[in-house]
Amino acid sequence: MRPLLLLLLWLPFPLFAQTLTGRWTTIDDETGKKRSVVEITERGGKVYGRIVQLFRDPGEEQDPTCTKCATDDDRFGKKVVGMEIIRNMVKDGEEWVDGTILDPKNGSVYDCKLWLEDGKLKVRGYVAFFFRTQTWLPEAKP
């Protein structure tokens, strides 16, 4: 038993570190309702996030497109499901920074910062000194 315990203690600590890649359930910070599932992936040392599922109320458009995106944005007029909303995030210590996040509801693109806290993903969109932070939860497995 002791050799196993010593082996576990000897293993490098980062082996147990949580990663932000995977699927995250977004929670509306105003209503507390689930809004979507975003899949975060890493490509070429940068992190990207794509909406893979929406949770819509009965009166809402069930398969919306981004009509409020800027017309010169490549996401304008595209379906929200499948849309890449997080782009070009680079790792800086314990955070991912210097990328952007799109809010397809209003078409606005914000500077973005991501970090993990207590097993949850903190997502901050900001312009200058004004910001809004949401807490996303790991997707529950069915």
Q: What is the pLDDT of residue 19?
A: 86
Average pLDDT rounded to a whole number, residues 7-11: 39
pTM of this structure? 0.85
80-122 tens-digit pLDDT: 999 999 999 999 999 999 999 999 999 999 999 999 999 999 9
- Give all domains of the chain, ordered by start, each with its CATH number: 18-138 (2.40.128.520)
Q: How far apart are CA 53 and CA 33, in angstroms?
A: 14
Distance between CA 58 and CA 83 in Å, rounded?
22
Beta strands in 63-119 (DSSP E): 84-92, 95-103, 108-117
pLDDT tier at 140, thresholds 50, 70, 90: confident
